[in-house]
Structure 1
Amino acid sequence: MDDLPSEQTSLLSAHPKSRTRRTPLPWGQLFILFWIQLAEPLTSMVIYPFINKMVSDLPITGGDEAKMGYYAGLIESLFSVAQAMTVLYWSRLSDRIGRKPVILIGLLGLTLSMGLFGVSTTFNRCLSGALNGNTGVIKSMMGEITDDTNVAQAMALMPVVWNTGATVGPVIGGWLSNPHEQFPGIFPGEFWASYPYALPCFVVAIYCAGTLIITIFYLEEVSSLKLHNPANGALESGTTDPHAQLTLYQVLTPYVRIAVINYTILAFLDIALRALQPLFLTASPSAGGLGFSVPAVGTCLAAFFVASGVYQAVAFAPMWEWLGSKKIYVISMGMFVPIFALFPMMRASIGEGSALNAITWVELALQIILYVIMDMGFSSALIYIRASSPNARSLGATNGLAQTAVAIARAIGPVFSTSLFALSMEYNILGGGFVYVVFIAVSVGAVMSAKRMPERPRNDDSE
């Protein structure tokens, strides 16, 4: 892959190890961007502990627990379906009018949609995705305010922020649902009884509203003059027009394509795992799960993301300097195979009964450890996406294309994994383990695709 043709100037102009002096990170602006980024995992993950119970409480399943996976996956996917249809537009728009206005629109959309989702189940989940193009725009700003000496340090923190939201979100969703029953003295009245999942949604909506206010006053727009000045090291000399906004066809260089494809595969497997995990934990042993309560599911998911967040913050940057992006990415993708294999192993360890034993808990802990290692792949993928952009003016479009593909994968992943789980159990395919066999096979293919990534995350052949 190193001999792929170069079409424009890459945002990474040299191998990171050739730099001896690391540029200080702009921590003030990074903190605000991370604060904004936190809104998305909160809004997407807060529903996971209670979505299966919400679906089972509705008349659409007819009391059939096996059908719960179909409808839960559909609702989980609505955010990504809508986002896939609009994220490229928002990213391209941010290349023209600036990043900050688009981010403000996205935060407003998240605030409104989360508030409404507490009293609804479908349309407002779509609204949340359609009005939110912040993920691609934030990554564009991250690429603009970093260079090849500090990009690993900055990108390593993005999964930490995501994992923080993915940790807090399930805790909020698990512990604040059904407040009328859990805290009757604080939340009396018919409203909380009729809408048992409104409180966690309202809490997240308040966070988004507060972030919107902070962004209005404190987020600074990236200076185009500073960004496009070759003296700052963001661009090499030799590009014909570093200020030109390229067409989508011009943006889709071989490096962009291979980076986007692998990022999409990673996102698909990750979101499928995130949707399958709470379903597996919530489902009764007779339905192929472990029979956890909603608060227990929230706590278990939190353990996944706390461990991963701490490890990313501490270990990714030095490991990136030691192993490089490709080796980290291939290792990360390889972790999916044992992660999915542990699901049927956990189910088999409890036998015909329903009580968890020491072996089950050890297997669950091992799955968490493997998940932590796997999660490093996102930081590597983000570095590849940033570096593959043909020029600085096309960074928004590059991230928009990546996020569009990822949003499609994240729309398909939950429906595919939860429906396959329900199908496997309903028809007893391979004793209910067919879903895991499928994902193990997909994971093997993902490793093979990861090995096709270029050795260095760059788009030039100057070395």
Structure 2
Amino acid sequence: MTSLDRTTSSIGGDEHTPLLRHRDNDDGDANYTSAKSTVSVSPPYTPLPKLQLGVCILIQFAEPITALCILPFINQLVSELDSTRGDQSRVGYYVGIIDSLFFAVEAITVLQWSRLSDRIGRKPVLLIGLFGLTISMICFGLSRTFWTLVISRCLAGALNGNTGVMKSLTAELTDETNIAQAFGLMPVVFASGSTIASFMGGVLSRPSDRFPKAFSSTFWKQYPYFLPCGVAAAFCALSFLATALLLQETLPKAKSASESHPALTEANSSTPHSLDASVSEPTPLRKLIKNRAVIISVSNYGSLALLDIALFALIPLFYSTPISLGGLGFPPSTIGYCIGAFGLFNGLFQAVFFNKIVKLLGSRMVFMMAMSVFAPLFGLFPVIGYLVRREMSMSWEVWAVVALQLCLLVIMDMGYGCIFMFITAASPNPHSLGATNGLSQTVASIVRTIGPTLSTSLFAISIERNLMGGNAVYLLMIGFSLSSIWLARCLPEDVSRKEKEIGGS
């Protein structure tokens, strides 16, 4: 039995239930860092449950739609507020605060939502999260002051327990023969959602200016950024209805409790459940945070999330900053097109190649590749800045380097599908899966609180004080990137060996 089948031996004897296993696999135990035996015969591939996974994907779409639709216009929106007093160099501070507070509030609540889902089921928590996103996006679109923007994002963070719960739901819908394919869809969903969100934010913002005949009402002039937020809210409302009507509960004990209700138990008897329903209660949190497997996988997720959010906070800020201050001077529509083009290419790449690359190289190697590209990603910012200042315009060379940077982002994005599999494999038992994913999301939310404020504030300070020609922020982020590669080396290798033996598509 290998690490995808194993439970962590450091927790207690009553918690040794495999998280990911074959239908005919009885028992066994393995260490997180080395396999005790090898599988000589590959189990038959289990088809993914299309309807349930389709609803799952729809719910996942809500996260990038609501998170990223504001990126193309957030800098312009903040620059129009009284708080900045017309000072473009201060925009980075306020945007960083708005970005960070969402994750700060989410960090406080997400573990509790995930632990609650281990008790009452995944579906109720997902419905609460979708409702919260709907309300918060409406409030954001109607906000006209800095503090109402802050309150709207805090509301989204407090009510959004979906991120950790979705990973538990995906694990419970799959087994070890198809989990790589299912988790491989997550970057595709996020990439596709980011494409749609970026186009939405860029094209639908300020509709009275862009489409004066269709949006001539004074409402659109008073609330120029409501349309993209309203469309995002409508999507969340649609996802809420689909979840309420179509999604089946996957938590074993919650599902058993609902078996007397025909409406909840009709359909899809072929849905694979990788988690065994016959286990004990969830592992106490104090034991979970001492589990070596959990610590390693969660730490790597935190490292990836920190660098990713810092990078994506810098990209729209760098794009919108005037050329004279070291940026590209793009309007919101161009920012939306650039981020949208990346999302489209990324989605196609992940859908076609992710599963094949993971089977060829293994999750650990792919994750290390993803972490290794952060240094060149941050290093390309000063190169782009130098080229555009030399020409004082967007020459073909500048566009070529911008395109190269966006292509490297595709490699980085493969890290998420890989680390989600490590986190799932690290859970001590099935009823601790929600808490394990909640813990990982708490860490991710904490670093995502720090990331935007850190990178955007360093960006503003570097420009204001002309530190290293305004490039100090990029050199510091390169240093963080290099240290993350060492952490990635702590992940076990046997997960990748298992995936090679499984096959999958």
TM-score range, shorter chain: over 0.9
Distance in 2, Cα, partners of 1:125 & 1:351: 35
Instruction: Give the corresponding residue for 1:137.
Output: 165
Aligned with 1:410 (options 431, 448, 451): 448
Q: TM-score, normalised by structure 1?
A: 0.93
Deviation at 1:77?
Answer: 1.8
Residues 356 and 248 from structure 1, CA distance in 2 versus in 1: closer, same or farther, beyond 3 angstroms?
A: same
Does structure 1 residue 251 correspond to structure 2 residue 288? yes
Instruction: Give the corresponding residue for 2:28.
Output: none
What is the identity, as a one-letter code, of the residue corresponding to 1:157? L
Instruction: Give the corresponding residue for 2:208.
Output: 180
Deviates more, 1:162-171 or 1:27-36: 162-171
Instruction: Give the corresponding residue for 2:322.
Output: 284
Does structure 1 residue 9 correspond to structure 2 residue 46? no
Distance in 2, Cα, partners of 1:256 & 1:75: 30
Residues 223 and 98 from structure 1, CA distance in 2 versus in 1: closer, same or farther, beyond 3 angstroms?
A: closer
CA contact (8 A) 2:326 2:389 kept: no
Distance in 2, Cα, partners of 1:288 & 1:410: 25
Deviation at 1:242?
Answer: 2.2
Aligned with 2:68 (options 21, 39, 45): 45
Distance in 2, Cα, partners of 1:137 & 1:54: 32
Does structure 1 residue 26 correspond to structure 2 residue 52? no
Does structure 1 residue 371 correspond to structure 2 residue 409? yes
Q: What do the CA deviations read for 1:388-420 (whole angstroms, capped 9, x no partner)?
A: 110001000000000111111111111111111
Residues 17 and 413 from structure 1, CA distance in 2 versus in 1: closer, same or farther, beyond 3 angstroms?
A: farther
Q: What do the CA deviations read for 1:155-180 (whole angstroms, capped 9, x no partner)?
A: 00011101111111111111111111
Q: What do the CA deviations read for 1:204-250 (whole angstroms, capped 9, x no partner)?
A: 0011111111111101111616999xxx88468xx9x7232111122
Instruction: Give the corresponding residue for 1:425.
Output: 463
Any stretches of 5+ residues in structure 2 without a counterpart? 23-37, 144-148, 257-271, 499-505
Residues 169 and 341 from structure 1, CA distance in 2 versus in 1: closer, same or farther, beyond 3 angstroms?
A: same
CA contact (8 A) 1:284 1:291 kept: yes
Deviation at 1:189?
Answer: 2.4
Aligned with 2:486 (options 425, 430, 448): 448
Instruction: Give the corresponding residue for 2:184.
Output: 156
Does structure 1 residue 263 correspond to structure 2 residue 291? no
Distance in 1, Cα, partners of 2:273 & 2:106: 33
Residues 223 and 261 from structure 1, CA distance in 2 versus in 1: closer, same or farther, beyond 3 angstroms?
A: closer
Instruction: Give the corresponding residue for 2:268.
Output: none
Residues 111 and 304 from structure 1, CA distance in 2 versus in 1: closer, same or farther, beyond 3 angstroms?
A: same
Number of aligned positions between the proteins: 452
Alignment partner of 2:74: what SS? helix
Aligned with 2:95 (options 57, 72, 77): 72
Q: CA RMSD in A?
A: 2.2
Q: What's the % identity of the aligned pairs?
A: 46
CA contact (8 A) 1:16 1:149 kept: no
Does structure 1 residue 124 correspond to structure 2 residue 152? yes
Residues 356 and 16 from structure 1, CA distance in 2 versus in 1: closer, same or farther, beyond 3 angstroms?
A: farther
Deviates more, 1:165-174 or 1:261-270: 165-174
Distance in 2, Cα, partners of 1:67 & 1:350: 22
Deviation at 1:380?
Answer: 0.4
Residues 233 and 39 from structure 1, CA distance in 2 versus in 1: closer, same or farther, beyond 3 angstroms?
A: closer
CA contact (8 A) 2:323 2:389 kept: no
Any stretches of 5+ residues in structure 1 without a counterpart? none
What is the identity, as a one-letter code, of the residue corresponding to 1:33? C
Alignment partner of 1:122: what SS? helix
CA contact (8 A) 2:172 2:251 kept: no
Residues 362 and 391 from structure 1, CA distance in 2 versus in 1: closer, same or farther, beyond 3 angstroms?
A: same
Residues 418 and 17 from structure 1, CA distance in 2 versus in 1: closer, same or farther, beyond 3 angstroms?
A: farther
Instruction: Give the corresponding residue for 1:361.
Output: 399
Q: What do the CA deviations read for 1:37-74 (whole angstroms, capped 9, x no partner)?
A: 10011111011111100111011112211111000111
CA contact (8 A) 2:172 2:273 kept: no
